[in-house]
């Protein structure tokens, strides 16, 4: 046995190119694996530790306003309501809790406008919190923008337990006009502690720099998906300073479970107490869209790390696969060359397995050198990798540490894989009878994969066996094809970006949107404006009938958005032949999407029935517009307002090109208070372009 090993070791030199290739491949695989996993794991550990220490919220919510009670009106007393709002409240005093749906809707919009949801249902929330075991706290923030920069003021109060700021330098704000700001913003804008900072005519003193656990990825709104450390700032300030800050306010409850909550596998949709649609099971607290933002702010890092890990691990496996193929070829060639010598050894009685074992030298040497060098290089390389991640996110940098964690994965797995492959191929060749091996010109060809497939498929029909063994025979070819197609896929993507195909696609998408902003209001607006006005109301279909009156079966509870419109200037609604459909939407004639029509098997002249204010209404489908995703049903706005009991046409959404919506300081305070959200189309477009640029920079 000793001499057999010696023979195999000495033979290494004759195949040095292949051995070096194996060592290099294993080295690269190990570097990749160790560097990425070490960086990701350490970062992840640091990240979860940090979230735990700073008591990051598990979810946030505002109570639903389904059951407004007479007492709730007391909350409105301290507020200076408009004349019209006052009228609704007076009306409500006589009918609560069973006012007609229109009054209820108006009332709810008043509560929403003045951020009063958080004051509702206090007792019920406490009960639910106790039942499910979570704490909750009010989080108040105000947002301003001047078009490029976003400023968010957060009310800091040292008694707060949830979402505690992580102080990097200086102090947290105590005195009036003291602020602590985001560390990355301070860095990017050369701001130091002690500096004065002017915003909207107000002077602030920077007293500290912080990370915020619920702003790991500090984006401000849903349409600023790119984190921009230069332009996104958050100010922590005391109560008085906060009250003086002008911006659109947001009040939500941040909640944390008492029990350990698996942050890694947290899902807002299927969490322990949330129903399928994200509504807390009791149906008394609605989740707000804030949770989606929160998902971006806190979990983006997780969403980024996971695919990176998966990709590197898959790539590592490809490299291991290639090394396995090389080792297979090396061993095979070696034994073919030593065929007659092996025959003599077998003639004098050496067993096939002991001869085959000696060829395990190849995987051992490959793993020993490749993986060891790779391991240390990988550890070294993981440092700059961590820096890259950390510079992108707002988390404290975990300290340097050497991990032995991957030793078994990086040594054992390749060793077992390559040894098995080497042994099997060697054994299959060597187990031939000695006379056969000794004979000149005998052929030792063993098609390992074909044999294996034959074994596996032994019991299958001949046809299948034949098919599979053909497939296995071409496994090598298949691998090359895979690698080539992977590489060419990358090339094609790069080519598409390079040649501007992507930009064209963007132009097409955004070109049809002739407006720059979608402005949503938290109340029903009356003042007519130049812009396109929409009244969007969700409703549920109660019945569908064909044009001849026969009922059409459908899945229950199709919720659609009834979108009342006039004659929009910025929005086109066309059918497949580019005919303008908008004129067709008058009275009870509606437009549905192609998708909707297909799903529910309806067509032009069929009927849809809705219930509005306890009465059933019949709508006629007058046109099918070319949009595959929309669940919007377009209808005349004046008609829809009337159906819902408004005396004149109202709207709660506006498509606008007015530039003031890009800079909240230019909006009158009264309107700002009524705005629920602004979606900047151009901003989103620019953001997507930026992302593509980053992608190009990464690869070119």
Residue linked to tokens 């200076």: 80
Among 257, 350, 369, 502, binds other proteins (CB under 8 A): 350
Q: How far is the CB of 436 from other proteins (least distance, A)?
A: 10
DSSP 3-state of 527? coil
**10 counts as binding other proteins under rule CB under 8 A:** yes
Give 122 or 439: the residue with its C-beta nearer to other proteins. Answer: 439
Per CB under 8 A, which region of 10-18, 134-142, 566-574, 643-651 contacts other proteins?
A: 10-18
Per CB under 8 A, which region of 4-12, 292-300, 302-310, 610-618 contacts other proteins?
A: 4-12
Cβ atoms of residues 222 and 292 within 8 Å:
yes
Give 18 or 469: the residue with its C-beta nearer to other proteins. Answer: 18
**348 counts as binding other proteins under rule CB under 8 A:** yes
Helix crossing, 681-699 with 475-498: angle to 10°?
A: 130
Q: How far is the CB of 350 from other proteins (least distance, A)?
A: 7
Q: Measure the CA–CA gap between 425 and 429, rounded to whole angstroms.
A: 6
Residue linked to tokens 């007659």: 340
**434 counts as binding other proteins under rule CB under 8 A:** yes
Q: How far is the CB of 496 from other proteins (least distance, A)?
A: 53
Give 8 or 675: the residue with its C-beta nearer to other proteins. Answer: 8
Among 167, 168, 263, 438, binds other proteins (CB under 8 A): 438
Among 303, 435, 483, 694, binds other proteins (CB under 8 A): 435
Question: What token pair was written down for 407?
Answer: 């030793």
Per CB under 8 A, which region of 195-203, 258-266, 339-347, 559-567 contacts other proteins?
A: 339-347
Give 435 or 481: the residue with its C-beta nearer to other proteins. Answer: 435
**343 counts as binding other proteins under rule CB under 8 A:** yes
Q: How far is the CB of 444 from other proteins (least distance, A)?
A: 15
Q: How far is the CB of 7 from other proteins (least distance, A)?
A: 5
**333 counts as binding other proteins under rule CB under 8 A:** no
Strand-strand pairing, 134-145 and 150-155: antiparallel
Exposure string (b/e) for 144-179, b if CB count within 10 Å is 16 or more? bbebebbbbbbbbeeeeebbbbbebebebbeeebbb
Sign of CA dihedral 112, 118, 121, 127: positive
Per CB under 8 A, which region of 281-289, 347-355, 504-512, 529-537 contacts other proteins?
A: 347-355
Give 243 or 351: the residue with its C-beta nearer to other proteins. Answer: 351
If you count them, how many residues does the chain have? 700
Q: How far is the CB of 363 from other proteins (least distance, A)?
A: 18
Q: Measure the CA–CA gap between 565 and 637, rounded to whole angstroms.
A: 5
Run of H or E residues at 620 = strand 615-625
Cβ atoms of residues 152 and 220 within 8 Å:
yes
Q: Measure the CA–CA gap between 29 and 369, rounded to whole angstroms.
A: 13
Give 14 or 258: the residue with its C-beta nearer to other proteins. Answer: 14
Among 41, 341, 447, 561, binds other proteins (CB under 8 A): 341
Give 186 or 360: the residue with its C-beta nearer to other proteins. Answer: 360
Residue 35 makes CB contacts below 8 A (sequence gap 6+) with 377, 378, 379, 381, 382, 385
Q: Measure the CA–CA gap between 418 and 166, rounded to whole angstroms.
A: 48
Q: How far is the CB of 3 from other proteins (least distance, A)?
A: 4
Give 305 or 437: the residue with its C-beta nearer to other proteins. Answer: 437
Q: Measure the CA–CA gap between 16 and 330, rounded to whole angstroms.
A: 10
10 Å CB burial of residue 328 (0-12, 13-18, 19+) is buried
Binding to other proteins (CB under 8 A) within 12-31 occurs at: 14
Per CB under 8 A, which region of 69-77, 434-442, 615-623, 671-679 contacts other proteins?
A: 434-442
DSSP 3-state of 166? strand
Q: How far is the CB of 461 from other proteins (least distance, A)?
A: 30
**4 counts as binding other proteins under rule CB under 8 A:** yes
Q: Measure the CA–CA gap between 206 and 189, rounded to whole angstroms.
A: 13
Q: Measure the CA–CA gap between 433 and 672, rounded to whole angstroms.
A: 90
Residue linked to tokens 């609560």: 96
**485 counts as binding other proteins under rule CB under 8 A:** no
Among 87, 384, 433, 500, binds other proteins (CB under 8 A): 433
**78 counts as binding other proteins under rule CB under 8 A:** no
Per CB under 8 A, which region of 108-116, 219-227, 284-292, 431-439 contacts other proteins?
A: 431-439
Give 377 or 444: the residue with its C-beta nearer to other proteins. Answer: 444
Exposure string (b/e) for 641-670, b if CB count within 10 Å is 16 or more? bebbebeebbbbbbbbbbeebbebeebeee
**7 counts as binding other proteins under rule CB under 8 A:** yes
Per CB under 8 A, which region of 7-15, 97-105, 403-411, 523-531 contacts other proteins?
A: 7-15
**397 counts as binding other proteins under rule CB under 8 A:** no
Cβ atoms of residues 681 and 515 within 8 Å:
yes
**357 counts as binding other proteins under rule CB under 8 A:** no
Binding to other proteins (CB under 8 A) within 503-522 occurs at: none
Q: How far is the CB of 10 from other proteins (least distance, A)?
A: 4
Measured CA to CA in angstroms, residue 148 lies from 5, 144, 183, 473 at distances of 70, 10, 19, 60
**132 counts as binding other proteins under rule CB under 8 A:** no
Compute the chain's Rg from CA coordinates: 34
Residue linked to tokens 């004098």: 348
Q: How far is the CB of 425 from other proteins (least distance, A)?
A: 19
Q: Measure the CA–CA gap between 648 and 646, rounded to whole angstroms.
A: 5
Q: Measure the CA–CA gap between 138 and 155, rounded to whole angstroms.
A: 10
Largest CA distance in the chain: 110
Size of residue set near other proteins by CB under 8 A: 23
Binding to other proteins (CB under 8 A) within 580-609 occurs at: none
Helix crossing, 339-347 with 290-337: angle to 10°?
A: 70
Binding string, residues 654-683; x marks residues near other proteins by CB under 8 A:
------------------------------
DSSP 550-575: -EE---S--EEEEEEES--SS---B-
Binding string, residues 292-331; x marks residues near other proteins by CB under 8 A:
----------------------------------------
Q: How far is the CB of 348 from other proteins (least distance, A)?
A: 6
Give 4 or 88: the residue with its C-beta nearer to other proteins. Answer: 4
Among 108, 152, 256, 346, binds other proteins (CB under 8 A): 346
Q: How far is the CB of 345 from other proteins (least distance, A)?
A: 7
Q: Measure the CA–CA gap between 503 and 497, rounded to whole angstroms.
A: 8
Give 353 or 579: the residue with its C-beta nearer to other proteins. Answer: 353
Among 222, 347, 380, 501, binds other proteins (CB under 8 A): 347
**Positions in the binding site for other proteins (CB under 8 A):** 3-4, 6-7, 10-11, 14, 338, 340-341, 343-351, 433-435, 438
């Amino acid at each position: 046995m000793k001499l057999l090993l010696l023979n195999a070791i000495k033979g290494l030199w004759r195949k040095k190119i292949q051995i070096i290739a194996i060592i290099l491949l294993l080295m690269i695989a190990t570097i990749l694996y160790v560097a990425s996993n070490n960086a990701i794991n350490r970062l992840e550990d640091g990240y979860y530790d940090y979230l735990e220490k700073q008591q990051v919220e598990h979810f946030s919510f505002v109570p639903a306003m389904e059951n407004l009670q007479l007492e709730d009106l007391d909350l409105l007393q301290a507020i200076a309501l408009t004349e019209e709002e006052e009228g609704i409240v007076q009306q409500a005093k006589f009918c609560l809790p069973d006012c007609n749906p229109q009054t209820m809707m108006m009332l709810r919009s008043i509560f929403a406008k003045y951020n009063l949801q958080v004051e509702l249902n206090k007792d019920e929330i406490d009960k639910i919190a106790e039942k499910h075991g979570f704490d909750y706290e009010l989080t108040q923030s105000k947002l301003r923008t001047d078009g490029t920069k976003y400023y968010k003021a957060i009310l800091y109060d040292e008694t707060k337990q949830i979402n505690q700021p992580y102080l990097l330098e200086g102090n947290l704000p105590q005195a009036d006009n003291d602020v602590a700001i985001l560390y990355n913003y301070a860095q990017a804008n050369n701001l130091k502690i002690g500096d004065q900072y002017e915003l909207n005519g107000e002077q602030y003193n920077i007293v500290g720099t912080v990370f915020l656990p619920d702003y790991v990825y500090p984006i401000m709104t849903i349409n600023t998906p790119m984190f921009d450390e230069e332009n996104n700032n958050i100010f922590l300030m005391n109560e008085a300073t906060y009250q003086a800050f002008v911006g659109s306010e947001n009040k939500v409850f941040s909640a944390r479970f008492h029990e350990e909550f698996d942050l890694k596998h947290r899902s807002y949709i299927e969490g322990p107490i949330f129903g399928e649609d994200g509504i807390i099971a009791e149906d008394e607290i609605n989740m707000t869209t804030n949770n989606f933002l929160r998902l971006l702010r806190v979990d983006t890092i997780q969403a980024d790390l996971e695919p990176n890990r998966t990709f590197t691990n898959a790539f590592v496996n490809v490299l291991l696969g290639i090394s396995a193929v090389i080792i297979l070829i090396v061993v095979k060639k070696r034994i073919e060359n030593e065929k007659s010598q092996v025959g003599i050894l077998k003639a004098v009685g050496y067993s096939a397995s002991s001869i085959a074992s000696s060829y395990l030298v190849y995987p051992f040497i490959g793993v020993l050198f490749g993986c060891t060098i790779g391991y240390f290089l990988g550890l070294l390389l993981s440092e700059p990798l961590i820096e890259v991640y950390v510079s992108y996110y707002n988390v404290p940098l975990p300290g340097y540490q050497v991990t032995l964690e991957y030793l078994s994965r990086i040594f054992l797995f390749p060793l077992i894989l390559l040894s098995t492959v080497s042994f099997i191929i060697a054994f299959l060749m060597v187990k031939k009878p000695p006379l056969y091996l000794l004979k000149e010109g005998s052929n030792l060809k063993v098609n390992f994969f074909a044999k294996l497939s034959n074994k596996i498929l032994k019991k299958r029909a001949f046809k299948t066996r034949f098919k599979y063994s053909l497939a296995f025979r071409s496994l090598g070819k298949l691998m090359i094809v895979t690698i080539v197609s992977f590489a060419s896929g990358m090339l094609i993507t790069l080519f598409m970006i390079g040649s501007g195909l992507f930009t064209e696609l963007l132009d097409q998408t955004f070109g049809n949107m002739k407006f720059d902003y979608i402005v949503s209001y938290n109340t029903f607006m009356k003042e007519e404006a130049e812009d396109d006005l929409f009244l969007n109301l969700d409703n549920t279909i109660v019945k569908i009938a064909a044009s001849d009156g026969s009922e059409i079966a459908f899945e229950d509870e199709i919720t659609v958005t009834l979108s009342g419109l006039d004659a929009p200037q910025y929005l086109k609604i066309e059918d497949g032949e580019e005919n303008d459909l908008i004129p067709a939407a008058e009275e009870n004639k509606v437009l549905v999407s192609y998708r909707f029509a297909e799903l529910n098997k309806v067509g032009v002249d069929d009927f849809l029935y809705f219930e509005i204010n306890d009465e059933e209404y019949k709508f006629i489908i007058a046109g099918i517009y070319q949009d595959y995703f929309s669940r919007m049903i377009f209808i005349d706005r004046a008609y829809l307002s009337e159906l819902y009991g408004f005396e004149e046409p109202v709207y709660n959404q506006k498509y606008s090109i007015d530039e003031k919506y890009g800079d909240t300081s230019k909006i009158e305070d009264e309107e700002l208070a009524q705005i629920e959200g602004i979606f900047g189309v151009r901003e989103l477009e620019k953001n997507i372009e930026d992302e593509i640029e980053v992608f190009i920079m990464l690869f070119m």
